[in-house]
């Protein structure tokens, strides 16, 4: 594991400087430490095919050490085995469990999908959240899972089938234009938006941050607003919209939400899940209600993430 000083040397200087503009020095050190080494592998049992107790027994038999996750009964954090080793298990091939970062599991939990509902996942590949939503719905209802990129779309369709998420249908459309096909159609919408991925940075893995730039952050925030408007228009009146990113900056998080609240008929809702290490969103120069959103800072256990829950007003 690298020191904070070593992490600073490896990451883009402009990114590190931007952290100091938005966070206290102590919090920046915590964030950088969360980027200093590899994260533990985590996974979610696929309750459409298996159960947590069977999976825990399997891991005990194979000397795989794990911890249960306090805020999600179907998730495990693995302590002594990497992803590649877990992928060799026949239960992985059968789709009994899905390797997924802990923070990535939060948006579907906040969405709280119910059996029988109609759900849209705007940018769904590779299918982590789509298949989690299907499991939470007990495969009753309908999920439209959209992905624009052709290669990622194929991966999405593969994972939906492998996980047995029979209520999910993969489609290949522009997220910004989905509302034209699905105007006021869905009870709930998940927009896990394309983002600069700052919450996933690992100092020893240059590919996690090589593409980052301030210019790219601004470009992505413009796309996020277009996707959010499309998600809003595809949502029924009084429907629930989850906006999430795996990044840390205000430009792609609070400022996008502030734009949405001021330009669309949306209101912020409380997130009633006690996620380890979650903090209130910033409210500097944005609507005060945005503090209801949560930011998860990167650690050895979880990636950095941002999650907001909104409701469409009639």
Catalytic residues: 246
Cα(133)–Cα(98) distance, rounded to whole angstroms? 13
Backbone angles phi, psi at 169, to 5 degrees: -120, 125
Residue 236, burial from CB neighbour count under 10 angstroms (0-12, 13-18, 19+)? middle
The kind and range of the H/E element at 27 are: helix 25-34
**What is the b/e burial string over 263-295, where b = at least 16 CB atoms within 10 angstroms of the residue's CB?**
ebebebbebeeebebbeebbeeebbebbebbbb
Cα(107)–Cα(307) distance, rounded to whole angstroms? 6
């Amino acid at each position: 594991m690298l020191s904070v000083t070593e992490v600073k040397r490896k990451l883009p200087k402009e990114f590190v400087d931007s952290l100091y503009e938005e966070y206290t020095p102590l919090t920046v050190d915590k964030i950088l430490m969360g980027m200093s080494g590899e994260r533990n592998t985590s996974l979610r049992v696929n309750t459409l095919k298996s159960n947590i107790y069977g999976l825990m027994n399997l891991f005990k038999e194979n000397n795989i050490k794990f911890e249960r996750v306090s805020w999600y009964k179907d998730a495990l954090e693995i302590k002594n085995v990497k992803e590649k080793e877990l992928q060799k298990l026949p239960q992985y091939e059968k789709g009994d469990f899905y390797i997924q970062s802990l923070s990535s599991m939060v948006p579907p939990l906040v969405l709280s999908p119910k059996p029988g509902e109609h759900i849209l996942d705007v940018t769904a590949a590779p299918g982590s959240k789509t298949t989690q939503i299907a499991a939470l719905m007990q495969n009753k209802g309908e999920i439209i899972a959209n992905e624009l990129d052709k290669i990622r779309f194929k991966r999405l369709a593969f994972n939906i089938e492998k996980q047995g998420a029979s209520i999910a249908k993969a489609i290949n459309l522009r997220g910004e234009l989905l509302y034209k096909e699905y105007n006021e159609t869905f009870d709930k919408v998940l927009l896990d938006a394309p983002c600069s991925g700052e919450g996933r940075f690992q100092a020893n893995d240059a590919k996690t941050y090589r593409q980052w730039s301030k210019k790219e952050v601004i470009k992505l925030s413009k796309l996020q607003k277009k996707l959010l408007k499309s998600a809003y228009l595809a949502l029924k009146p009084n429907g629930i919209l989850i906006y999430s990113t795996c990044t840390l900056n205000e430009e792609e998080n609070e400022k996008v939400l502030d734009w949405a609240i001021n330009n669309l008929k949306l209101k912020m809702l409380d997130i009633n899940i006690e996620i380890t290490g979650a903090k209130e969103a910033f409210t500097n120069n944005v609507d005060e209600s945005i503090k209801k959103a949560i930011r998860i800072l990167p650690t050895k256990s979880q990636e950095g993430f941002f999650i907001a829950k909104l409701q469409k007003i009639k």
